[in-house]
Structure 1
Amino acid sequence: MMERVSSFLSARSSRSNSGTQSPLHEKSDSLLLPLPQAYSKSKAKLRMRTLLGNSLYRRLALWAIAIFMITSVLILKSGVRSMDNRGSQNVDVSDDDPPPGSPAEHSPEEDKQPSSLPSWIVYEHLNGYFNGLKSLVPLKNHTPEWPIPNYQGPIRSVAITSDTVPKPKIYRPQPDYKSEEYLSKFHPVEDCFLDEHNTPAPDIYAFDGLPQHQPNPAIGSYDLLGLRQDICFDRFSRYGPYGLGYGREEGGTGEGIDTDMTGASHVWEKTGRINYNSVDWGDAQERCNTRNARRFIQETDEDGVPIRTDDDKKGLTKIERKAVLVRTYVGFRWTQHVILNFRAMISELNLKSGGEYTVHFLVHVKDLEAPIWADPRVVQDILDANVPAEFHSICSLWSEAQMRLYYPGPFTAPFENPSKQDIHGVYRSAHFPMQVFALQHPEYSHFWNWELDMRWTGSYYELFDRTGEWAKAQSRTLLWERSAKYYIPPLHGSFDNFSRLVEKELEASGRQPVMGPALFPGRQPLFSETTGRDNLPKSCGKDKDPKLCGVGEEADIITLNPLFDANESGWVFSQDVTGYNTQLQLPPRRCAIVTASRLSRRLIMAMHEETWRHHHSMFSEMFPPAMALHHGLKAAYAPHPVFLDRGWDYKHIEAAFNGGRDGTSGGPGSPFDMKNEHNHKGTTWYFNSEFAGLLWRRWLGYPQMDGRGDNGGRAGQGTMRGGKAEEESDLSSGRLCLRSMLVHPIKFENPAERA
């Protein structure tokens, strides 16, 4: 999470990676198991001769040694893994539709594992991520390097399929707003522009096909969420329309000019190089929203129910508006790459969708004395010093002093406060300013919570729209249980097979499925609950098909990591629970690490009431999911594609990421336990990931240490690879081209920014 620093965390938690020092250049890792320490010479020694001198002692000792050796052999054969309370019997995939191939239960790499290193480090790095544009093949001809049946190791070469860089095509994941089908259901969409001179919002471009041998995701699925996986994006097809590849004097960013630009000019053929120097994104969004006002439900009640007006056109569906809230702060360093990212976000989510989404920045002002609610000059001075001018008009400033006014408490002592931070601070209560924003903006039905160091290589509209539609289509039946577990297609097979596995594991556990509001000692109701309002839809009635319960209902929370049971999970903040009776047991909690999520107005208003009325709160990643659990709201983890930098054994992935209670990601053995979080370092999506930044910077065209080295290699080790010379080489396959994927954290982009 953003700007989280405390002495506790730097000493005890891998969250220290979220600081300004990139994890790519760490030389050591506090999460790695330490080498065994030798006994001190001054320690008293128990001599074997003395122990065995007596015949009775000798027999007892020999029997003890024999029992120990037999027990050890049995344990080793049973496949017990450390930090996994389920042993090796992790997955039942005996149903129909098995996975497309599974490696042998014992991988030869396991024999290489040094005891002092994490288990995953023995697997070899994959090379296919770094194949480029000259190796593109259609999806039907694409053979992933991994995961595949009978995987033998990483590829060592790539076939060049073209001597030249192919041309990308315009990519529009939005609906065809001009089509007869669309216009028969919805109001017409008016075009939106960057400025008052009607400069069109640009399209992005994509390449047909994928680089040969580019790996497939280890976790999550493109097809499941409806994301295109037959196209890829290079840096210029993605960011060229927003100013990558030309100088600031032309209205660009000046970035990318020092990298390989072969064929990049194609993305400017229709629009030219757009001058962004005078763009005001607040004005652009406001004009777009005004032009398309009749398309949208303009106001909702406190539960997110649309308020209909007399001028609603009968027969045409109005659309709910959504806000994207990006948390930033005074002192954040806005680089040109950051600017590129948010130009793309606003253009794709607002201007290209006819105002369906509106992007806002929530700016944390650390000076508690600054009168940001009273003096416009103070506000302007803060913006001038901390935010690029093009984004000023979409900023909402807030401070902890304001949050104390909105939520004065009193807040009783928490069960635990390991960070020692204040309840009104952004560290423990990043949801407070979001709650206040929602109160002030009744026009929005849903709110995406987003962070500065997240990137998406494809269109933001495709990501947000498809995850929302997928969650809407999910049945509430066993949804909490499915959302508590990572979906690993190489092992679990189809999502239907995965769902059957979840059902079997639940039955075996003897636990009851979650349905409706949670009941627990000390629970306090909301106003709406005292009037008898039920948060379950009619489709969940007793006379209805359970499979259809909640199908077609918008999700109240959509997360991008599993919704795990925080109880006994080992997650450092699992007991940061405030305002509940500490003489009673902890209330039930769910959590999703990385706060990126979509929250409904109904959920945020429940959070608001719990905060101001009952004086309840929990740590930032835990409060929204826990409130959804307490009040019977619809919650879904959207299993988006997550990649690994190495070719893991499939069952090892399961043991590492679903090693918690009853085959889930929660409880004892959780991957979110501090002792287990190192497993995420080779993924593309987790706050301590090393691979995310390495892959992103290589994609941007910057040379990086490849992470190869002794004992399996780590970030910052190995050989410098990539960059202009390598990409332009006759032996190279060209610039990287990646499918849509989320990468996090991105703490810097151009290596020069680290100076």
Structure 2
Amino acid sequence: MRRRLISHRMVIGIPCVLLISVFTIHRFYDGRYDHLASLSKESHHQACRIWPEWDASDRGNLRYDDYNSKEAQPPSVGDAKILGNPDVCLKAESRLDVYRMSPTEDYDWNTVQWGYVQKRCAAGNQHLYIDEISTNSARNHDLWRQPPSPAQTSIQPKQKGGRTAVVLRTWDNYEYTDGRRAWLRALITETALHSAGHYEVFLLVNVKDNTIELEENQVAYKQALQAYVPEEFRDMAVLWNERTVEKWYPEVEEHGAQNQMYQALQIFSHQFPHFTHFWQLEMDLRFTGHIYDSLENAVAFAELQPRRNLWERNGRFYIPELHNGSYDAFTKAVDDEIGDLGVWGPIVTTNFMPKGPKPPPRSEKDWGVNEDADVISLFPDIDPIGTDWIYETMIHGFTDGLATPRRASFVSITRSSRRLLQLVSEAQRESGQWLASEATLETLALLHGLKAVTIPHRIMFANNWTVQQFVENIDRGPPRNKAGGYGISSSYTTHGWVPGPWSQSSYWFAHNDADNQWRTYLGGDCLPPLLLHPVKDE
């Protein structure tokens, strides 16, 4: 059963330059088509290059096409504007072709050290950041030395406006194909370099051999690094195995990446204190829009959300056609339905001391607006109790046991604050309190009274379901948790898969529709800004 379950989870203004082709008019990048300007606050910065004199990766070389979202089939789930301008599409060849082959002998990908390139970029823009830029990449081999000092495990005050780490979870036998390498190069460029170092990308590599003393033996660490990570990405990689996390979290019974996807990230947050936030992304996630824009738009959306009935909004899918395409109307509908009975501050549970902010009177209905979110999820935060989710009963160390209030978001792709990761780490180290990966950050945020936001990004479906069919299948739970309820199709249950629309969706944790859409995108099709997951076949 264990092997079978894991296999399920694994599946689980500047004038425009016009280029005339047979049927298409392309646009080079123009500020008018940068949706970020209307949703987020972009710092004034000088973007960086891989090689100082090589301009092929400059953002000005990206090409955009018109995408008429009004004529296209409307999305059945999510806000088309959340990740970027829905009426333009970023052409795949303009962002990926330059990274597929080495341009000349003078510019060879085999000579690039992406960790150094990113740190050089951040150091060159150090005046933008309040923290000290770490340039000592040589210390990666001893990141995980034990035992941790008190300073490493103390809870630091929440910070706003610091740098963000983009952490890609990968493993020792991951196949770095030409297509995947091109994607990684584009991802680093679109985040770390185009943001002038606000973002920094890392590979967090799970080494399956637990006999390797990664935290103790520098020679063994170096040998593993050379064996498992291509040369160009080695100085941005951090290796770990279960031996590593077992020493940090002896009170937790599970340490495998499947059920404890955040333990290595928790340690990472302790060891890289100059980052205030951490995007944990998966290697099979793809963005069809510019990645920096998509991430920044998500963060800006989260910051603007009021806390009133936020958990109740988080627990639903936003179906635009039910609200005349207005997320504000959706928010009002939830407020009208829930009133003043929604979650307000921490939920009380026995023998648990919340460490989040004290909530103001409920009359302050704008509480939370312009507050940074401690956790951003990309799928609804549901109450797992009573869902028949296969991991519904996986909760340990809490006095109230199975009655402990919880939330879970399927697919552990999130942005978390350092504060929240430290609180999770503290709970696991000191009290042995732990849950399945998908419920870890969301539950601790709920119990501590921290701000959590689900991003209602556009999810496209190929099954042509009607709105009523979606309502009956994915919007039928109780008012505080409408994406939940018994036997939901978005989860894997104790009785297996439940029929639903997700096998033909652009974002979920199983099946291959995301693969199909990514292939059509690479083939030249126009797509608006989307998150595609999982993309397994390139």
User: With structure 2 as the length reference, what TM-score do the two structures score?
Assistant: 0.86
SS in structure 1 at match of 2:464: coil
* 2:393/2:402 contact within 8 Å kept: no
Pairing partner for 1:302 from 152, 155, 171: 155
Hey, what does 1:525 align to over in structure 2? 353
> Where in structure 2 are the equivalents of 1:595-610 lying within 5 Å?
595-610=412-427
Is 1:429 aligned to residue 243 of structure 2? no
User: Which of 355-364 and 662-671 deviates more?
Assistant: 662-671
Amino acid at match of 2:360: G
Counting aligned pairs with the same residue, the percent is: 28
Is 1:500 aligned to residue 320 of structure 2? no
Pairing partner for 1:681 from 485, 503, 507: 503
Hey, what does 1:167 align to over in structure 2? 26
Distance 2:36 2:536 in 1: 34
Hey, what does 1:322 align to over in structure 2? 164
The alpha carbon displacement at 1:581 in A equals: 4.1
Hey, what does 1:462 align to over in structure 2? 293
* 1:557/1:625 contact within 8 Å kept: yes
> Where in structure 2 are the equivalents of 1:140-159 lying within 5 Å?
none
Is 1:647 aligned to residue 470 of structure 2? no
* 1:238/1:457 contact within 8 Å kept: no
The alpha carbon displacement at 1:426 in A equals: 1.1
Is 1:562 aligned to residue 413 of structure 2? no
Hey, what does 2:98 align to over in structure 1? 241
* 2:77/2:460 contact within 8 Å kept: yes
Hey, what does 1:690 align to over in structure 2? 512
> Where in structure 2 are the equivalents of 1:164-243 lying within 5 Å?
164-170=23-29, 173=34, 189-195=45-51, 201-203=57-59, 205-210=62-67, 213-223=71-81, 225=82, 227-243=84-100
SS in structure 1 at match of 2:489: coil
The alpha carbon displacement at 1:603 in A equals: 0.8
* Pairs aligned (count): 498
Cα deviations by residue, 1:241-275 (Å, 9 ceiling, x for unpaired): 323xxx45857xxxxxxxxxxxxxxxxxxxxx964
> Where in structure 2 are the equivalents of 1:475-490 lying within 5 Å?
475-490=306-321
SS in structure 1 at match of 2:118: helix
Q: Label 1:597 to 1:677 Cα distance change in 2 as closer, same or farther (>3 A).
A: farther
Hey, what does 1:17 align to over in structure 2? 11
SS in structure 1 at match of 2:278: strand
* 1:297/1:443 contact within 8 Å kept: no
Distance 1:629 1:452 in 2: 28
Distance 1:506 1:175 in 2: 32
Is 1:283 aligned to residue 116 of structure 2? yes
Hey, what does 1:591 align to over in structure 2? 408
* 1:304/1:601 contact within 8 Å kept: no
The alpha carbon displacement at 1:622 in A equals: 0.5
The alpha carbon displacement at 1:434 in A equals: 0.6
Q: Label 1:693 to 1:226 Cα distance change in 2 as closer, same or farther (>3 A).
A: closer
SS in structure 1 at match of 2:525: coil
Distance 1:598 1:372 in 2: 27
Amino acid at match of 2:155: E
* 1:285/1:350 contact within 8 Å kept: yes
* 2:504/2:513 contact within 8 Å kept: yes
Distance 1:294 1:745 in 2: 38
* 1:217/1:642 contact within 8 Å kept: yes
Distance 1:748 1:211 in 2: 28
SS in structure 2 at match of 1:599: strand
Is 1:392 aligned to residue 234 of structure 2? yes
* 1:490/1:650 contact within 8 Å kept: yes
Hey, what does 2:522 align to over in structure 1? 700
For structure 2, the residue ranges without an aligned partner over 5 or more in a row are: 13-19, 133-150
Q: Label 1:232 to 1:596 Cα distance change in 2 as closer, same or farther (>3 A).
A: same
Distance 1:175 1:355 in 2: 18
Distance 1:463 1:445 in 2: 19
Hey, what does 1:548 align to over in structure 2? 366
User: With structure 1 as the length reference, what TM-score do the two structures score?
Assistant: 0.62
Q: Label 1:461 to 1:575 Cα distance change in 2 as closer, same or farther (>3 A).
A: same
* 1:202/1:241 contact within 8 Å kept: no
Cα deviations by residue, 1:411-465 (Å, 9 ceiling, x for unpaired): 4xxxxxxxxxx51111111111011000001101111011011100111101110
* 1:524/1:614 contact within 8 Å kept: no
Hey, what does 2:182 align to over in structure 1? 340
The alpha carbon displacement at 1:222 in A equals: 2.7
